[in-house]
Amino acid sequence: MFAGREPNVEVEAPDPDIASSPAIERARDAVMKIRSSSDSCAMRSVGSGWVVSEDRVVTNAHVVAGGQRITVQPGGQGERHEATVVAFDPDLDLAILRVDTLDAPVLDRAPDLDRGAEAVAAGYPQGGDYTLTAARVRAQMAAVGRDVYGSKPVNRDIYALNTQLLPGDSGGPLLTTDGQVAGTVFARSADDPNTGYALTDDATDSWLDQAAELSSEVPTGDCVSREE
């Protein structure tokens, strides 16, 4: 995640009851379970994503890297919809999918969160059921890390969070208390099980603002050896 030692920013534990608010619960139909598979590198991954505009879903690049068959499933149940990757940024670790058959609500995006703000990570940990995980912002920071292939250093604007993320949460939305998206979950700490990371909206807005206009399929690069 970080090119050097991870920062340690103390903040009080999140309130577990925050995940039960009606505004957050209503977001469920806009949070996708994402499956990606490829014969060429014998890989299969499961991650999370969220609807940024009509028929467009945001996830992490490492969830779909090398993918040849990608599907999204609203709420993690029912019909799986075939998806086409229309944006793939291995430096930022962001991808956007076009899903022509999708009928799901669009999530609004939120302003920056301050240190100590309550939030909720929504996704499918371990590829299982839809789960809401309480979080609290430790800090917003510019982080020097590696691209999804570990091949070069990159800079990202991120939230460090007091939360407990698992593989499969990656790509899901970081929701505010009123159900808006403040960021996109992309990693958990290698050092601290109570720390996770999300890309800020500022980090991703150049892609998210144009998501509705993206329609042409783009390559998904090589597979990656990494937890979803």
Q: Catalytic residues, which ones?
A: 62, 93, 170
C-alpha pair distances (Å), 53 with each of 97, 153, 169: 11, 31, 21
SS3 197: strand
Q: Compute the distance between CA of residue 166 and CA of residue 7 in angstroms, rounded to an integer.
A: 20
Q: Compute the distance between CA of residue 6 and CA of residue 174 in angstroms, rounded to an integer.
A: 21
Q: Compute the distance between CA of residue 121 and CA of residue 49 in angstroms, rounded to an integer.
A: 11
Handedness of CA 138, 228, 24, 92 (dihedral sign): positive
Q: Please give the order of strands across the beta sheet that includes 43-53.
A: 81-82, 69-74, 31-38, 43-53, 56-59, 94-98, 84-89
SS3 17: helix
74 residue type, one letter: P
Q: Compute the distance between CA of residue 26 and CA of residue 3 in angstroms, rounded to an integer.
A: 37
